[in-house]
Amino acid sequence: MIIPKTREEIELMRASSLLVSKTLGMIAKEIKPGVTTLYLDKLAEEFIRDHGGVPAFLGLYGFPNSLCMSPNAQVVHGIPNNKPLESGDVISVDCGVLMNEFYGDHAYSFEIGEVAPETKKLLKVTKESLYVGIRQFKAGNRVEDVGNAIQTYCESHGYGVVRELVGHGLGRKMHEDPEMPNYGKKGRGKLFVEGMVVAIEPMINMGTKNIKQLKDGWTILTADMKPSAHFEHNVALIDGKPELLSTFQYVYDALGIESDEEKEFRRTPLVV
Ligand code: MG
Ligand code: MG
């Protein structure tokens, strides 16, 4: 059952989402060749607690850390470890926060040092597909309208769209209804309702859509070991239109990236 949120609840959720955004911005300053994912995980945990939140992934379903860090062929749910990042790696950093009883949950895929042009393109197209999907999260549309838009866009570039893992509703629980697949048919699935909040999160593979799981019970990898990318935003349906609760602006400020891609999904300019 979809649980719509009041305006007041949505503002609480915005605060949770923005703490994740700030955490990713902090990570963006620290992530580079030679740094370990376990070190970044500890920084994130401290940062979240210092800002009044609780790391939401830590202990969730038994996950051992605060960040899911999934380099290269890892799709999602990678466990931080002591292996230093290397130039040429790409890595999905997924972060969750619980604050004021509401969850924030989003992700950004980072380039480490010099990355191959075809991998850069995978990240670019995956991030573009996130906004292509968000644009379909509007009154009158249904769940699979978002998935269809993401799938069509990514497959037009020859990429594989992961089927087994999906986005989700978000609120007082990390995973609420509805499931938000990154594939589907137009006009199918649950109707969107005013006040609902979702995490839209394309997980896109350079090659096959097929995945496998490591024996650790968590890490999801591409079946062909080609790279995968993952971007995620939290979005509320307000006045029939998608409104971003999360932002990549802190990441962009840290990396010196200029972008206006989020502008159409905000009522008021973001103050960071
Ligand atoms: Mg996430
Ligand atoms: Mg999520």
CA–centroid distance, 49 to ligand 1, in Å, is 18
Nearest-5° angle of CA 90, CA 242, CA 152?
A: 55
CA–centroid distance, 175 to ligand 1, in Å, is: 10
What per-residue confidence (pLDDT) applies to 272? 60
Which ligand ends up closest to the CA of 170?
2
Assess whether pLDDT exceeds 70 at residue 119: yes
CA of 105 to the centre of ligand 1 (A): 5
Q: CATH number of the domain at 7-265, out of 3.40.718.10, 3.30.450.40, 3.90.230.10, 2.40.50.140? A: 3.90.230.10
Q: Specify the pairing of strand 203-205 against strand 220-222.
A: unpaired
Percent of the residues in the chain that have a pLDDT greater than 70, as a whole number: 99
* Confidence bin at 19 (pLDDT 50/70/90): very high
Poorest-confidence range of 12-21, 181-190, 243-252, 263-272? 263-272
Which pLDDT does position 61 carry in this prediction?
A: 93
Please tell me the distance from the alpha carbon of residue 18 to that of residue 163, in angstroms, as a whole number. 28
Q: Per-residue pLDDT tens for 68-82?
A: 999 999 999 999 999
Ligand lying closest to the C-alpha of residue 56: 1
Confidence at 270, pLDDT banded by 50, 70, 90: confident
What's the pLDDT at 231?
A: 98
User: Counting ligands in written order, which one lies closest to the CA of residue 231?
Assistant: 1
Distance 152 CA to ligand 2 centre (A): 21
Name 98's bridge partners: 54, 103
> Is the full-model pTM beyond 0.95?
yes
**Residue 201 Cα to ligand 2 middle (Å):** 6
Going from the Cα of 116 to the center of ligand 1, the distance in angstroms, rounded, reads 25
